[in-house]
Structure 1
């Protein structure tokens, strides 16, 4: 557990979180970035032992940084449960950041997740890259997550695939309908790949489909020389990933500031 968490802190916090950002700056130990679409983001490997007064000052500076940039519509400060950060939650709330649901940070060896998982006989698993398949996948995920903006996300995914981005998309279908899906994204310069976007229609849960898609993505990770998998998981997916072989090493809670919110 300690070795996994140390690898997570060293490799997945800091520069690797800001790939694709249009602007990246430092405010003390905190890295702040602005991504396409007006999304701000703040993170760090650690806060360098800062006390409560210094943390309040950092939060004020970060909030002002985003507020002074009209193109930023919302910004996330990503916290982790194992960090030493006295007074951070209260300081974020004071500056207008609202806590979202905590998620479990899941980590594990990709090799432990590659076993075959049986699925119902009418379910077909396949890797996709075609535009119409991506649209169908994102439509299903939008339905599961209650996301009315699924088409914009689909367009971004289609553009990334067309540009040659190393992103692996898997779906499960029954009767031509997408019933589950997920993606794998290797993190350049690290031993990790993220497994994201896992969603299954309610009536298809509990049948091993999501675990089977996780195994397919783990196999794709090994083919790319990736050692570890990671995921920020809701309480829906955490038990499934634990059964697949990932371990909960900490939690992460996003605090989100919204312009005019």
Structure 2
């Protein structure tokens, strides 16, 4: 499967047709939007706009979410049209996050991640306390609150336990590295999240351990494609493991509606 075929598969399964736990999917002529059932931030995952109608549609979506008193993210990928979409969103008041690399890989028998058995210290997290440990870890690393993330992870794990798998590595009772994975609904993809390690514990191969354990679970459950929006720190590790960069993604955060 070449790069364009991978992009097409990703776009169809994880953007245009995607279903997300805890959200109501709505499709119009111009956007695919997801409305949170729990008052969290919504998002637009795909759009069909052009230079002539983009600003009108953006204003319509701002009004739509504002009427629901819900902030939202408009996710833009570097292959989206028009090429200026991200710039137009910024001109309309959206805050543009730093770009992340869209990394995708197809797993096959005997892939090194599937034969890796170096899981000493890796623990599957299934309880609320473990998820709270993840929140504390993320708060510490990023110096910002992640309580809403914790609530979502715990809710999703309770409501659909076979679609979310969380893993961590503890040292002396403290969670020092963690990552999780969603097996996407009606999709061949598993999406990877987290992969955060406390600075003093980096360089010990924890990221690769957590990557391998998730890859094996995804493959076991019939999801051969892995995808992750990677930071510059994670991308080199992912490339060594066989991931390909398909594009760059930008989270475009709406002006506050609350």
Give 1:2-13 correspondences, 5 Å limit: 2-13=4-15
- Secondary structure at the aligned position of 1:8 is classed as helix
Residue 41 of structure 2 is matched in structure 1 by 39
- Secondary structure at the aligned position of 1:42 is classed as strand
Conserved 8 A contact 1:117-1:208: no
- How many Å apart are 1:201 and its aligned residue? 0.7
Question: Quick one: structure 1 residues 260 and 61, their matched pair in 2 at CA, closer, same or farther if it must change by over 3 Å?
Answer: closer
Question: Which range moves more in the overlay, 175-184 or 134-143?
Answer: 134-143
Conserved 8 A contact 2:65-2:257: no
- How many Å apart are 1:155 and its aligned residue? 3.0
Q: Match for 2:159 among 163, 176, 182?
A: 163
Question: Quick one: structure 1 residues 209 and 137, their matched pair in 2 at CA, closer, same or farther if it must change by over 3 Å?
Answer: same
Partners of 2:136 and 2:5 lie apart in 1 by 38
- How many Å apart are 1:260 and its aligned residue? 5.8
1:189-212: CA deviation from partner (whole Å, max 9, x where unpaired) = 111001111101111112211111
Partners of 2:194 and 2:13 lie apart in 1 by 21
- Secondary structure at the aligned position of 2:123 is classed as strand
Q: Is 1:116–2:133 an aligned residue pair?
A: no
Conserved 8 A contact 2:126-2:166: yes
Give 1:166-181 correspondences, 5 Å limit: 166-181=163-178
Question: Quick one: structure 1 residues 216 and 4, their matched pair in 2 at CA, closer, same or farther if it must change by over 3 Å?
Answer: same
Partners of 2:139 and 2:249 lie apart in 1 by 23
Conserved 8 A contact 1:55-1:87: no
Conserved 8 A contact 2:20-2:185: no
Question: Quick one: structure 1 residues 187 and 236, their matched pair in 2 at CA, closer, same or farther if it must change by over 3 Å?
Answer: same
Conserved 8 A contact 1:63-1:95: no
Give 1:249-260 correspondences, 5 Å limit: 249-259=246-256
Partners of 2:166 and 2:50 lie apart in 1 by 43
TM-score, normalising length from structure 1?
A: 0.88
Conserved 8 A contact 2:50-2:81: no
Q: Is 1:235–2:232 an aligned residue pair?
A: yes
- Secondary structure at the aligned position of 1:248 is classed as strand
Conserved 8 A contact 2:44-2:74: yes
Residue 153 of structure 1 is matched in structure 2 by 149
Question: Quick one: structure 1 residues 32 and 208, their matched pair in 2 at CA, closer, same or farther if it must change by over 3 Å?
Answer: same
- Secondary structure at the aligned position of 1:13 is classed as helix
Question: Quick one: structure 1 residues 223 and 141, their matched pair in 2 at CA, closer, same or farther if it must change by over 3 Å?
Answer: same
Q: Is 1:134–2:136 an aligned residue pair?
A: no
Residue 208 of structure 2 is matched in structure 1 by 211
- Secondary structure at the aligned position of 2:203 is classed as coil
Aligned residues: 251
Partners of 1:197 and 1:162 lie apart in 2 by 19
Could you tell me which runs of 5 or more consecutive residues in structure 1 were left unpaired when the two chains were aligned.
none
Partners of 1:236 and 1:205 lie apart in 2 by 11
RMSD: 2.1
Question: Quick one: structure 1 residues 248 and 180, their matched pair in 2 at CA, closer, same or farther if it must change by over 3 Å?
Answer: same
Partners of 1:151 and 1:21 lie apart in 2 by 18
1:161-194: CA deviation from partner (whole Å, max 9, x where unpaired) = 2224321111112222211110111011111001
Question: Quick one: structure 1 residues 76 and 155, their matched pair in 2 at CA, closer, same or farther if it must change by over 3 Å?
Answer: closer
Question: Which range moves more in the overlay, 212-221 or 233-242?
Answer: 233-242
